[in-house]
Amino acid sequence: MLDDLYSLRERARQAAARSDFDEASRLLVAAAQQTHVAEGDYVAVLRPLEDALARKGDARGALTVAWYTAFSDDDGFRRVRSRAAQAPHVDRARTLAAAGDVAEAGAEMERAGLTAAAAIYRENAQDWAGARALWSRLAQGPAGGAEAYQAGLVHLNVSRCAKKCGDDRHARDALVVAVRLIEEAADHFESTGLRERAFDCFQVLVQIGREGGMFEDVLEGFVNAIRILREDQLKYFALHYYEEALSAAREARELSAAATLAREAAEFARAIGMAPLGAHYTLMQAELWRDVARQHLERGAPPEIAENALLSAILAFVEVGQFSRVGLVYRELGALGLEPGRAKHYVRAAKRYEGVSDEPATAAPLPAHLRHDNQFPDVWHVDVLEWEQRGSAAEACADVLLDRRWPDLVRRKAMLARLTALGVEGAAPGSPAVTHAAVQLADQLAQLQLYSALSPLEALFGRPEVEVKIAVLAALKGLFFKRTFVTVRHGLRHESGAVVEQAAVAIEELAFPHAFDPLARVVREAPQARVRAAALRALARVDTQEAAELLLGVLQHAAPVDRAAAAEALKRSRGARFVEAARAALPSLPGEPRALVTDVLRARGLQP
């Protein structure tokens, strides 16, 4: 491999010596495709590539390569800043930000017409008044449908900056608008099947509630985020969000909400087979109800309200066999100052529990390895930037390339994709060279394996060339995100049979637990049997209870062609959930479905 790399570099040197910089850069880009070589060998190719690109007049390409090598230079971005003088404002802004001059980077972004990026740079420079002015300018835009999401994020950013500027009234007003817009966007996304975007909305609601001290928004965000995670079978993430929600409720002294969340968390933990964790949440629930009773009494509420809370605590303690604490709570009830008849009843009940032993404790908290870093992604910045970039692969790849947190391999691939994107974006479609480059770009974006590649791929799919659409769908089959299905579903409805066929291939590869909902939509809605079969084959590899039940329903009620496709897919699958569901349902199944299920089980070497 190194022989090829250095051979290409030598041929490029010879081409440069005769001033053929087009050929030199082509050869060096080919050498740079060997992204797995050691850093020293890789940089040895990039330095002459940077020079060749500059000499042929490609200032943006030369700067792109310089961004990568700057991290290896002793002088950092000093040399790169001089090269950026010939580049557009947006590239100069990125260079200045990487060099640490975020204030001037903000000014350059504003000159480039990228208001959101400019505002974020202003925030990073602690220029809150300047950032507020820029966000306020963006807040004047449209705010309906999907645009409501971006508008809500913009108003959240207006509020954040206004608060930093000491304008609490404007901050509150902007938060109220942000909540309305984000709720509207969440409804829109869920109604159109974009549940992952609705999830982003609910995360933003949590942040809005925290920013404004409005617990009802925090609770709404957490409850709906947990609902989506549970429905998508992301059970450990759901448990983590329960933990976060409980912490938020306790911190806000919203103890009734905390107790209710603990009860729901306990039920969920038991449902997924984590009984000790369920017991832990049940004990937490009981103690929270006792805290609720104390809180009511401290606030001067009637004792009957505290009574209801303590009775809930008793039910929870009984559920986990903590009978000594049941007796303790009955004594607390007897001392509440209730009317004499009820007070005596509770005193007698407490005596019945004297000397009663507790059942062995089996409670255990959520294991440390299932907990996650307590950080929400800053979608109020990231998603607005994505919206402003309008699917530009060059800009998305620049974000990755200049972020040192990514491994060198990923940054190298981002650099190569950006070099290709610079030649594709803005070029008129139709020429074979541009079409070939767009196809290559789709493959390069797929190699990044990043969520941020989806927006550029969506933009590429919007190009008119069928070859590009097919390349995008081929790229998407390896990107396991629910958002991937948005473009794939567009491919399924395309007039070209080749595009539909590639979309079906992608569908079959997109088998991952939280793909259940979009795959089920394809089974329900696709008019082509070939497409439904692809979705059924993917579902057969999604080993969840929901997938098992859907497939069992297909075997019972679907058209013969879909029954046959599901049966063949299940014969080749290895998941255990369908086997469990099938054996449980087998005695009640009618003739043909029973025969199909029996055939599937026997094909897998199992007894019906």
Q: What does the pLDDT read at residue 239?
A: 92
Contact 128, 165 (CB under 8 A): yes
The terminus-to-terminus CA distance of the chain in angstroms comes to 54
The tokens for 50 are 């940077």
- CB burial of residue 404 (10 Å; 0-12, 13-18, 19+): exposed
Q: What does the pLDDT read at residue 143?
A: 65
Contact 284, 246 (CB under 8 A): yes
Asked if the model's pLDDT at residue 358 lies above 80, the reply is yes
Distance CA 32, CA 4 (A): 11
Asked if the model's pLDDT at residue 426 lies above 90, the reply is no
Amino acid sitting at position 115: T
Nearest-CA neighbor of 557 among 525, 593, 583?
593
Give the mean model confidence (pLDDT) for residues 324-346. 92
Distance CA 511, CA 146 (A): 27
504-552 pLDDT tens trace: 999 999 998 888 888 998 999 999 999 999 999 999 999 888 889 899 9
Q: Residues 555, 556, 561, CA angle at the centre, nearest 5°?
A: 50
Q: What does the pLDDT read at residue 68?
A: 95
Distance CA 94, CA 1 (A): 33
Asked if the model's pLDDT at residue 598 lies above 60, the reply is yes
The tokens for 80 are 């790169």
Asked if the model's pLDDT at residue 177 lies above 90, the reply is yes
Most trustworthy range by pLDDT among 2-6, 232-236, 265-269: 265-269
Q: What does the pLDDT read at residue 375?
A: 58
| Residue count (the chain) | 608
The tokens for 429 are 């479609």
Q: Residues 6 or more apart from 8 whose CB is under 8 A from it?
A: 27, 28, 30, 31, 45
User: What is the three-class DSSP state of 446?
Assistant: helix
Which domains occur in the chain, in start order? 2-87 (1.25.40), 254-374 (no CATH), 404-510 (1.25.10.10), 515-608 (1.25.10.10)
Give the mean model confidence (pLDDT) for residues 434-445. 97
**Phi-psi group of 197: left, alpha or beta (phi > 0 → left; psi -120 to 50 → alpha; rest → beta):** alpha
374-386 pLDDT tens trace: 556 678 899 999 9
287-319 pLDDT tens trace: 999 999 999 999 999 999 999 999 999 999 999
Q: What does the pLDDT read at residue 605?
A: 85
Q: Where are the alpha helices (DSSP H) in 335-453?
A: 340-352, 379-389, 393-401, 408-424, 432-448
Asked if the model's pLDDT at residue 328 lies above 70, the reply is yes
User: What is the band of 216 on the pLDDT scale with cuts at 50, 70, 90?
Assistant: very high
Distance CA 161, CA 164 (A): 5
Sign of the CA dihedral with 171 first, then 173, 179, and 181 last: negative
Q: What does the pLDDT read at residue 144?
A: 64
469-479 pLDDT tens trace: 999 999 999 99
What Rg do the C-alpha atoms of the chain give, in angstroms?
A: 30
Distance CA 156, CA 488 (A): 32
**Phi-psi group of 145: left, alpha or beta (phi > 0 → left; psi -120 to 50 → alpha; rest → beta):** left
- Number of Cα atoms under 13 Å in the Cβ half of residue 373: 3
96-151 pLDDT tens trace: 999 889 999 999 999 999 999 999 999 999 999 999 999 999 998 766 667 899 99
